[in-house]
Chains A and B, each alone.
Chain A
Amino acid sequence: MLELRALTKRYSGNLAVDDVSFTALPGEVTGYLGPNGSGKSTTVKMITGLLDPTAGEILYRGRPIRDHLVEFKRILGYVPEEPYLYPHLTGAEYLELAGELRDLPAATLPGKIGALLELFSLAGDRHAPISSYSKGMRQKILICAAILHDPELIVLDEPFSGLDVHAGLVLRSLIRSLAASGKTVLFSSHVLEIVEKVCHRVVILHKGRVVANDSIDRLRDLMALPTLEDIFAQLITDSDPDATARQIAEVVRQ
């Protein structure tokens, strides 16, 4: 179980994440939603140990991750928001790097990499440099690298970005089956339709603060709204989207 307690992050005085608390349970997919700049990626970076919180703490299985960061990172799989990869390596070489850094057995690693590349339809491009990969292909490499070591906790930050329809369907099913096998999955995304189909519960963040934290069904009942998109719009949107669109079109015409 992943637990965030009163997590806060300030950047030079600016509050990016403000007193965020929630729990992600094993066997469930927890959706983490919010508009641009709401603090989602900052939270994710704190969970993965890439950033230190200003205040609050993150617990995994009841223990603060900072006290056992080594073991925590060993059971963590992470797909970052931006597909930053080493462009001079091939897809297979990148996965080999990730696997060896995690000290996976050398005897089984090549086979595992080959199988994953095959399943993600990347086998034909395994010897091409990542610099020549499309955004979707890079995303697939990130997903392979995140699950290569069979992690207990999986943090996905916009994992569907750039994926084609087939790969998107595969990933959606994969996320559900990972959770079904007892793993804890934290899924941060803007694509509400997917969140609605994949997640058991959602945490909605706005201006650094949690504004909703419950199962999607309960949120629908509580707010008497039919879809997650409506719930999100009611909680987050400050202005009328149609009016904003009209204003943009007018500015462009000037």
Chain B
Amino acid sequence: MTAPPGRERRQFRALVRLFAYRFFDTDIISVRGDLSSLLSQFAALLAALSLVLVLMTAGKYAGLYQHLTEKQLHAAAWADQEFLISTTMAIIGVFTLLLWDALFPDRRDCMILGAMPVRVPAVFAAKLAALGAALGLAVVAVNSFTGLVCPFLIVPGASGALDAARDFGVFWLVILLASGFVFLLLLGVQGVALHLLPHDLYLRWSSLIQTAAFFAVLTLYFLTPPLANPHALAVPEDRLWYALVPSYWFFGLFEVLTGSTNAALDTLARRALAGVLLVALVAAAAYLLAYRRQMRRAVEQSGIAPSRRAFTLWGVLARVLARRGPERAILVFIGRTLARSRQHRLLLAIYAGMGMAYVFSQAAYVLYRSRATDFGALEGRAQTALGIPLILLFFLIVGLRVSFSIPMEVRANWLFRLTDPFARGAYLNATRTTLLLLALAPVVAIAAPIYMAVWPWPRALCHAAFLAALGLLIVELALTGFAKVPFTCSYLPGKANLKIMFGVYWGLLIITSEIVTDVEQRALGHAAGYAWLMGITLLAWLVAALRGRWARARIPALRFEEQPEPAVVGLGLAGPS
């Protein structure tokens, strides 16, 4: 029995809409009923980034065109071509990874749609259409300004309307191919994992692959050396970078399509096309196979993969560090939730990724741009190096703190509500221990040996000790007013105006980091100064801890429901009648 075409079209439209909702409705943020508003905000954010890129890129050409020869200008433009392509690829990569769980129809889709009179091909076609629309929107938004202005600037020597039209067309073609390459590559990676791994193992590893890919995208974007120039193209040692980094392939394709006859660039262009073809074939094969197997497989098996063993290391740490049962219970609960909940891990990865993006950009500055011969460069490099772990620590703590506020099956919190009086105080100790174990300890443990390798060990140890003291203070400040068991309180989206607050916090973080690292750098050279700095930091930590204890004693009850701000705030001016 075949459904009439009109019904199939309606089903298809409904499914595309459903899947588009699901991209953003991740149980973290519910956007039901307001998809168009969310999409326009998302597009505006990417468009704003595009505007910034135009301002960064376009301004300098006004001066360059007057002073450089065409050959010099061409060489200068290479870096911008590669920059625009690699930036788009990185953004599309992050965007695709954010949609990771929605790339293939999942268990929820299969359970709900499997019982409906919908044909499986229609489900997959709708999924692909929704993905294509989301990808298209992201590509257009991120190039909305650069795509209109830069093609006419970054191809020097073009003359006439035909050349301009060619450059414009080539720019968009290359951007679409590069974006498609990243998207299909990640789709293919997930598809291959989906088919090759047993279902339980796939569920367990999927989010690890997602997180690894997330950090790979960031690492590749920020730490790839800036080699898009004719000199580097001629150096044999640099050719390896050209061969391995996809953004260079698409840069080569752009150059070849806009008229370059360089043989090395021609090789890169061929690699770009071959790469697109290869990932398209792999992704198509994975999707077709998924179409045949996934619906049945997803229904047959569970949606969450447990560890056969208990979360051993965390369990041991909890037993050692938490003396009382309720504290131990909450600590183990936090560990298990972070280890198993994709949403929470993704949220944490986003914050860690932002921190790493900043750290990598600073590391790239230290590695590639700053030259020891520059005036003040040595000082600047040392200060930058001091600030790197501090920034990372800040992002990890904020990421953990934010993920704590996103509930895990909020209706199951009745267990904590029924027992919370016993656990009062335990909740905060457990949360603090988590922040120390998952943010401060790894940052200090990674930073200390690196500093010891590059600096004299007394200086490195002093810095590690100061970082630890500062970390204790930041952890204590992060817990100010915290009256929840992590993951158990309902979440009210939009309670904090993140768009504004994030900018404020970012600005404050950069200023504070500059000041702190400047003070520390001065103190590291003098024993007395360092002792003062450590003393003041530890005193501040002690005060913050005591203040936290005092505030906690006045908390009437743990919070399990996030209340919206009242529409009308009473000023309390009425006196007793």
- The answer to whether B302 touches A131, judged by C-beta atoms less than 8 angstroms apart, is yes
- The answer to whether A86 touches B409, judged by C-beta atoms less than 8 angstroms apart, is yes
Partner of A106, one of B310, B325, B419: B325
Pairs across A and B, CB under 8 Å, 15 listed = A73-B421, A80-B414, A82-B411, A84-B411, A86-B409, A88-B304, A89-B333, A93-B310, A96-B329, A101-B325, A101-B326, A129-B305, A131-B303, A131-B304, A132-B302
Contact residues in B for A48 (Cβ distance below 8 Å):
418
CB distance from A227 to the nearest CB of B (A): 34
- The answer to whether A50 touches B417, judged by C-beta atoms less than 8 angstroms apart, is yes
Residue from A82, A98, A101 whose CB has the most chain B CB atoms within 10 Å:
A101
Minimum-distance CB pairs A-B, first 6: A132-B302, A100-B329, A103-B325, A100-B325, A84-B411, A70-B421
From 399 to 426 in chain B, residues with beta carbon under 8 angstroms from any chain A beta carbon are 408-409, 411-412, 414-419, 421-423
A76: interface (CB < 8 Å) = yes
- The answer to whether B419 touches A88, judged by C-beta atoms less than 8 angstroms apart, is no
From 20 to 73 in chain A, residues with beta carbon under 8 angstroms from any chain B beta carbon are 48-50, 69-70, 73
B127: interface (CB < 8 Å) = no
Contact residues in A for B329 (Cβ distance below 8 Å):
96-97, 99-101
A5: interface (CB < 8 Å) = no
CB distance from B242 to the nearest CB of A (A): 44
| A90–B304 alpha-carbon span in the complex (Å) | 10
Our count of residue pairs bridging A and B at CB distance below 8 angstroms stands at 97
Contact residues in A for B419 (Cβ distance below 8 Å):
73, 98, 101-102
| A88–B408 alpha-carbon span in the complex (Å) | 9
Tell me whether A132 and B414 are in contact in the complex, defined as CB-CB below 8 angstroms, given that A86-B409, A88-B336 are known contacts. no
Contact residues in A for B336 (Cβ distance below 8 Å):
88-89, 93
A128: interface (CB < 8 Å) = yes
CB distance from B149 to the nearest CB of A (A): 48
- The answer to whether B414 touches A50, judged by C-beta atoms less than 8 angstroms apart, is yes
| A67–B71 alpha-carbon span in the complex (Å) | 85
Contact residues in A for B304 (Cβ distance below 8 Å):
87-88, 129, 131-132
Q: Which B residue's beta carbon lies closest to that of A88? A: B340
A145: interface (CB < 8 Å) = yes
Contact residues in A for B114 (Cβ distance below 8 Å):
none
The count of chain B contact residues (Cβ–Cβ below 8 Å) is: 33
A74: interface (CB < 8 Å) = yes
Partner of B412, one of A74, A76, A86, A103: A86
- The answer to whether B422 touches A74, judged by C-beta atoms less than 8 angstroms apart, is yes
The count of chain A contact residues (Cβ–Cβ below 8 Å) is: 35
CB distance from A150 to the nearest CB of B (A): 15
Q: Which B residue's beta carbon lies closest to that of A109? A: B325
Tell me whether A76 and B418 are in contact in the complex, defined as CB-CB below 8 angstroms, given that A101-B329, A127-B308, A128-B306 are known contacts. yes
| A49–B332 alpha-carbon span in the complex (Å) | 25
Partner of B422, one of A70, A129, A132: A70
- The answer to whether B415 touches A145, judged by C-beta atoms less than 8 angstroms apart, is yes
- The answer to whether B302 touches A100, judged by C-beta atoms less than 8 angstroms apart, is no
B361: interface (CB < 8 Å) = no
Partner of B337, one of A69, A88, A131: A88
CB distance from B318 to the nearest CB of A (A): 9
Contact residues in B for A69 (Cβ distance below 8 Å):
421
- The answer to whether A103 touches B418, judged by C-beta atoms less than 8 angstroms apart, is no
- The answer to whether A49 touches B418, judged by C-beta atoms less than 8 angstroms apart, is yes
- The answer to whether A97 touches B332, judged by C-beta atoms less than 8 angstroms apart, is yes
- The answer to whether A97 touches B333, judged by C-beta atoms less than 8 angstroms apart, is yes
Contact residues in A for B324 (Cβ distance below 8 Å):
103
Contact residues in B for A50 (Cβ distance below 8 Å):
414, 417-418
B41: interface (CB < 8 Å) = no
| A48–B419 alpha-carbon span in the complex (Å) | 10
Contact residues in B for A129 (Cβ distance below 8 Å):
302, 304-306, 340
- The answer to whether B422 touches A102, judged by C-beta atoms less than 8 angstroms apart, is yes
Q: Which B residue's beta carbon lies closest to that of A80? A: B414
Tell me whether A100 and B326 are in contact in the complex, defined as CB-CB below 8 angstroms, given that A69-B421, A78-B418, A89-B336 are known contacts. yes
Residue from B302, B329, B330, B415 whose CB has the most chain A CB atoms within 10 Å:
B415
Contact residues in A for B423 (Cβ distance below 8 Å):
101
| A73–B329 alpha-carbon span in the complex (Å) | 17
A104: interface (CB < 8 Å) = yes
| A50–B306 alpha-carbon span in the complex (Å) | 30
Contact residues in B for A89 (Cβ distance below 8 Å):
333, 336
| A100–B326 alpha-carbon span in the complex (Å) | 5
Contact residues in A for B421 (Cβ distance below 8 Å):
69-70, 73
Tell me whether A127 and B306 are in contact in the complex, defined as CB-CB below 8 angstroms, given that A86-B409, A86-B412 are known contacts. yes
From 136 to 166 in chain A, residues with beta carbon under 8 angstroms from any chain B beta carbon are 145
CB distance from A166 to the nearest CB of B (A): 24
| A173–B326 alpha-carbon span in the complex (Å) | 32
| A127–B302 alpha-carbon span in the complex (Å) | 13
| A176–B408 alpha-carbon span in the complex (Å) | 35
B30: interface (CB < 8 Å) = no
CB distance from A135 to the nearest CB of B (A): 14
A233: interface (CB < 8 Å) = no
Q: Which A residue's beta carbon lies closest to that of B410? A: A84
Known: A84-B411, A86-B408, A93-B332. 11 other contacts (CB 8 A): A49-B418, A70-B422, A86-B333, A88-B337, A100-B332, A101-B329, A101-B423, A102-B419, A103-B324, A129-B306, A131-B302
A194: interface (CB < 8 Å) = no
Q: Which B residue's beta carbon lies closest to that of A97? A: B329
B463: interface (CB < 8 Å) = no
| A48–B330 alpha-carbon span in the complex (Å) | 21
A85: interface (CB < 8 Å) = yes
| A186–B421 alpha-carbon span in the complex (Å) | 23
Q: Which A residue's beta carbon lies closest to that of B324? A: A103
- The answer to whether B306 touches A90, judged by C-beta atoms less than 8 angstroms apart, is yes
| A81–B562 alpha-carbon span in the complex (Å) | 23
Residue from A70, A85, A86 whose CB has the most chain B CB atoms within 10 Å:
A86
- The answer to whether B415 touches A98, judged by C-beta atoms less than 8 angstroms apart, is yes
